[in-house]
Amino acid sequence: MSGCTAYRDPSVSVLGVTVTETADGLLGLDFSLVLENPNDQPLALREFNYTLAVDGAVAYRGRWAASATLPASGSRRLSIPAVVRYDLVGRTASSGGPKPRYDLAGHVLYIVPGEIAEILFDTGVRKPKASFTAQGVLDLTPPDDRAETQDR
């Protein structure tokens, strides 16, 4: 039975974070991920669930539809967004001072191949997931300013 076959969780690595937008007191972030499938069958990715803390305080909780397939014995790059209020970060790109630290923790839900596995997932009996974490500093420089600095 294909629903009983043992599958290993995919690995999820966080490559980094970029500021995508700054407007109206909000900071748009994009976390770049690489997912690797150690199995010889593709895995259907369903949903990311994650929490972002900035300087130790929870700043964003997200759910993001993965809507992708992770190829057999392959990898795929995906990204997940976050929107944070500047007042939660405590500073802006122009205010100076130390860059804020972030902690990202979450998981991606996936479905293994087979009709039984899909039924178990849809009914909530078995929802396999692969966890990920990352820490680092936020470069609050808006994307347009970063491009101008690199051109000089």
Report pLDDT digits (tens) over 74-122.
999 999 999 998 877 766 656 666 788 999 999 999 988 767 767 766 6
Distance, CA of 134 to CA of 14 (rounded, Å): 6
CB 47, CB 66: distance < 8 Å = yes
What is the rounded average pLDDT of the residues 121-127? 70
DSSP 4: G
Q: What is the pTM of this model?
A: 0.82
Please name which of 5, 7, 4 lies closest in space to residue 110, comparing C-alpha atoms: 7
Please name which of 109, 62, 58 lies closest in space to residue 82, comparing C-alpha atoms: 62
Distances (CA, A) of 68 to 12, 41, 51, 138: 14, 14, 21, 28
The answer for residues whose C-beta is within 8 angstroms of residue 144's C-beta and 6 or more apart is none
Q: Got the DSSP string for 103-149?
A: EEEEEEEEE-SSHHHHHHHHTTS---EEEEEEEEE-----HHHHHHH
CATH of 7-151, one of 1.10.8.50, 1.25.40.10, 3.90.25.10, 2.60.40.10: 2.60.40.10
- Cα 91 to chain center, whole Å? 23
What is the rounded average pLDDT of the residues 16-31? 90
